[in-house]
Amino acid sequence: MSETHNWPSWQHQDVPVLTAGDVEMDIGARTVSANGQPVSLSRQEFRLLQALLEHLDQVMTTEELLTSVWGPGYLGDPSTLAVYILRLRTKLERRPAATQHIRTIRGLGYIFDSTPAFPPRT
């Protein structure tokens, strides 16, 4: 006898879409776009971006981000966060070296700045 599952359907309108400047994240669909183009992110990159967008224009400490993305009690190397930030910048920023959105706040952590530092390319 085969088993049938009646999975509840997602109410897409109840799942947030986070937007900041030219970056858009659809949590329910697990999609991200930047500059109108789809961006492929790993699971950890997605979780990191989600944490930053949920705290838009607020500094998140390294500890807060490590806990949010890797869970409480993370015992790995904290420099892992810097590597993932660099990956996000490379995938999302028009000029990754100039850090349009994801900025480092020395001695504190990171902030996703909703006000682009550079005008959009035409």
pLDDT digits (tens, 9 = 90+) for 61-95: 999 999 999 999 888 888 999 999 999 999 998 76
106 φ/ψ angles, rounded to the nearest 5 degrees: -50, 130
pTM of the model: 0.80
The packing angle between helices 62-70 and 43-54, to 10°, is 130
Q: Which of 10-14, 41-45, 47-51 has the lowest mean pLDDT?
A: 10-14
The number of angstroms, rounded, from the C-alpha of 42 to the middle of its chain's C-alpha atoms is 10
Residue 73's pLDDT is 84
61 φ/ψ angles, rounded to the nearest 5 degrees: -70, 160
Domains of the chain: 16-112 (1.10.10.10)
